[in-house]
Structure 1
Amino acid sequence: MTSDTRIGPIALPDTRARHVIQQLLEGSGVALNGDAPQDLRIYHPEFFSRVLRQGTLGLGEAYMDGWWECERIDEMACRLLRHGLGERAHTTTERLKYRLQSGFFNLQSKARAYIVGEAHYDLGNDLFERMLDPTMCYSCGYWKQAETLHQAQLAKLELACRKLQLSPGMRVLDIGCGWGSFAEHAARHHGVEVTGITISREQAELARQRCHGLPVEIRLQDYRDLEGHYDRVVSIGMFEHVGHRNYATYFQTIERLLDETGLLLLHTIGSNSSEISADPWVNKYIFPNGVLPSAMHIARASEDFLLMEDWQNLGPDYDPTLMAWLENFDARWNEVAANYNERTRRMFRYYLSVCAGAFRSRDLQLWQVVFSRGRRGRYDAPR
């Protein structure tokens, strides 16, 4: 049943699966077929058994298929996570499968590095241009004094530049440069030379256009193939694709590339748990082979190569960032609807909403960590 034919939630039989889910929801503030914005309205009788069988993968795919609706998926997700359903929503089979895969294989090897670029970042610049702000930042904004998404993204870029203590003429490496937001800002406003790398062809093409005329070089390249020497290194929203098997290689590579008195700014989403896992729906539809680091992962992997100078948590700022993206996405979807299908629209709405709820519940974090090679004096971090 599609959204075009719905009149209201269907009358569902009191099945065992439905009863189990109702018990799980008790006390969460989320109801079945209720009137509150965070309540689920069920349109397919097999919804309950699908979710019990497939966990979060089944829940997300059922939404993409039009089996349920919710006015505020972000608030639904936040309440469910605060209720402790995040871990219980992952099936035993799913956990075992991911542990076996990540245990025997390097899911983020050089041979597989471009998979996420092709699957997500190459989806279409037309869509991302309408969802993001004019900076084309696809990472958390800094809302301390900002009132709009654009202000928050400019503030984030400037905060990163200040933490790196940029000065004219410096050579800066941007690992995971995206559509060139940091490279363009740093080169234009701080007079530095930037080399940006990405594993997305669509990102590289648009980044070159955005940085035309500036001392910026954009490459389609894996970080493990980098050579050269840089005064500063920045990595914004890329470390989530590195993978636990490659964390040490990542920091060792940066140590090799970084000047003795240089600085690294690492901007990454972080997990509260050091368990190696990934949400199966996000892994399948949004960020294939992605895995979130914990604070322990970052500290242990970097300690042999770099000195940690500063650690700031901007996690709460990702909630308004994601909600602003969702607002842009909904407002401008009609401009690109002919290039995509309804399932893609529902996939993006679900992704943005659930992630906003995860940050609102403090289930996810966003860290900016500054490193040096330990051969410089006192470092005072700006805020």
Structure 2
Amino acid sequence: MTSDSRLVPIALPDTRARRVVERLLEGSGVTLNGDAPQDIRVYHPDFFARILHQGTLGLGEAYMDGWWDCERIDRMACRLLQHGLGEHAQTPSERLMYRLQAGFFNLQSRARAYIVGEAHYDLGNDLFERMLDATMCYSCGYWKRADSLHAAQRDKLELACRKLDLQPGMRVLDIGCGWGSLAEHAARHHGVEVTGITISREQAELARQRCRGLPVEIRLEDYRELQGRFDRIVSIGMFEHVGHRNYATYFQTVRRLLPEDGLFLLHTIGSNNSEISADPWINRYIFPNGVLPSAVHIARASENQLLMEDWQNFGADYDHTLMAWLANVDAHWHEIADRYNERTRRMFRYYLSVCAGAFRARNLQLWQVVFSRGRPGRYDAPR
């Protein structure tokens, strides 16, 4: 159970805000103070007014504050999205504010590149070590044949290496290397030299420890500062931080660093539409300044820069990955509870659960796209 069984839901106030919320929930399979795992149990009388005024930001913050609970937030989120409530999740003022900011400012400029690292990835290696598996992959696993999180992440890393056709002695660039997952795997099992870059100091420190003794260099560096030439380039779970104003620069950078016969693999969460937006709660508490690309964004930005060789979608696998991370958080939180408060625990539970529901509802996708500079011959992508 995710809630405190001692808490008793309040009697629902007879207010306009409550009636509006009930009308929105009609037909979704989610009820207020019901007994089903996906039902919302309300503990604060101002809950309804808060979410009507603040949308998803208010919903997430109210959960962090203990104003409501739900046994299975993932099921709740999936049902609400399938019911179409995602269209009403943000208030008009929230959508307008983000569009104005994104239109007039480069929210992912060089000067702002390290914000997400400091706000999220630097939160604490001890937390992420308990949430993730031994590979320290913080991206979608590949569950085609896997029966565990560790197997799914190992298979994802191997799939990327096979798609890149890694050969011993190659120089590989890992843009957004995280805690060194791909760098370690590629160097250890494929005999390549890897340069990994990240904008997180905590990630860089742990990645260097994990890759000690291997031909791996980890740098604290923004992708726009890169120089040199690499036989293969890979970017797993980083493109979500690039931002639409920088997509062209990103692909130009990859082209500049890639030789004529090189290959580039892009692994990214994708949006079903090309609207420039961000969930206000995720933007504030999890990934500041993040924005998800659409298929159109990727195709347009890479046009005249790189040739698309292969496109694979295994977004449904992110549901399994996120639920495995959630199970790890629940199982191991007591080990770090003295270093993180209850609000942080609820923040992570809400984040992982809601995202799992979004992938289950197929509102979000996970793409692996392979590019070249137009190398001769046929490219056959492994699956």
Cα pair distance change 1:76/1:300, threshold 3 Å: same
Distance 2:327 2:4 in 1: 22
How far did 1:13 drift?
1.6
Query: Could you tell me which residue of structure 1 aligns to residue 153 of structure 2?
Result: 153
Query: Could you tell me which residue of structure 2 aligns to residue 240 of structure 1?
Result: 240
Q: Which amino acid aligns with 1:152?
A: A
Q: Encode CA deviations 1:139-181: one digit per residue, 9 max, x unaligned.
A: 0000000000000000000000000000000000000000000
SS in 2 for 1:339: coil
Distance 1:194 1:86 in 2: 41
How far did 1:5 drift?
9.1
How far did 1:183 drift?
0.1
Q: Encode CA deviations 1:30-49: one digit per residue, 9 max, x unaligned.
A: 00000000000000000000
The answer as to 2:356 corresponding to 1:365 is: no
How far did 1:12 drift?
1.9
Q: Encode CA deviations 1:297-318: one digit per residue, 9 max, x unaligned.
A: 0000001200000000010000
Q: Equivalent residues in 2 for 1:154-303 (5 A)?
A: 154-303=154-303
Q: Which amino acid aligns with 2:124?
A: G
SS in 1 for 2:338: helix
How far did 1:4 drift?
6.0
Q: Give the alignment's TM-score, normalised by structure 1.
A: 0.99
Query: Could you tell me which residue of structure 2 aligns to residue 352 of structure 1?
Result: 352
SS in 2 for 1:290: coil
Among all aligned residue pairs of Structure 1 and Structure 2, give the percentage whose two residues are the same amino acid. Answer: 83
How far did 1:89 drift?
1.1
Task: Please report the RMSD computed on the Cα atoms of aligned residues, expressed in angstroms.
Answer: 0.8
How far did 1:6 drift?
4.6
Distance 1:377 1:186 in 2: 25
SS in 1 for 2:240: helix
How far did 1:8 drift?
1.1
Unaligned runs of 5+ in 1: none
Q: Equivalent residues in 2 for 1:1-383 (5 A)?
A: 6-383=6-383
Distance 1:258 1:326 in 2: 38
Cα pair distance change 1:194/1:69, threshold 3 Å: same
Distance 1:375 1:279 in 2: 39
Cα pair distance change 1:45/1:287, threshold 3 Å: same
Q: Which amino acid aligns with 1:130?
A: R
The number of residue pairs the alignment matches comes to 381
How far did 1:375 drift?
2.5
SS in 1 for 2:262: strand
Q: Encode CA deviations 1:181-206: one digit per residue, 9 max, x unaligned.
A: 00000000000000000000000000
